[in-house]
Amino acid sequence: MKSMSDLEKFYRGQLAKRPLFGGHRLSSEARAVHDEVILTGLKMQGVQELTDHAMNKAVNMDQARKDKAGNDEVLNAILADLEVGGVSKLK
């Protein structure tokens, strides 16, 4: 059985032929599993980046509310309500 490094080399285009496993070329089913793993990883990365972006924007929004309201408790309450509404739309 070929080492995992041969399999990685094949998928990176460094080997012309698929590595042999048990005397058989790597099947299309294995390629489909590989592709699904890659796709899942990309989806996870996208979710992570979107979440990070949303958290940063929420922090910025909170600071903007505090800056705009200053010491005005009524304005702070109004802006806080708008802030909560905005954040809840992300869910």
**Mean pLDDT, each 10-residue run in order, the chain (91 residues):** 61 68 62 86 94 92 95 96 88 75
Q: Is 72 helix (H, G, I), strand (E, B) or coil?
A: coil
Q: Residue 4's pLDDT is what?
A: 52
Q: Residue 30's pLDDT is what?
A: 75
Q: Residue 86's pLDDT is what?
A: 86
CB-based contacts of 80: which residues, under 8 Å, 6+ apart? 65
Q: Residue 87's pLDDT is what?
A: 84
- At 68, list the tokens: 């705009």
Q: Residue 91's pLDDT is what?
A: 75
Q: Residue 1's pLDDT is what?
A: 46
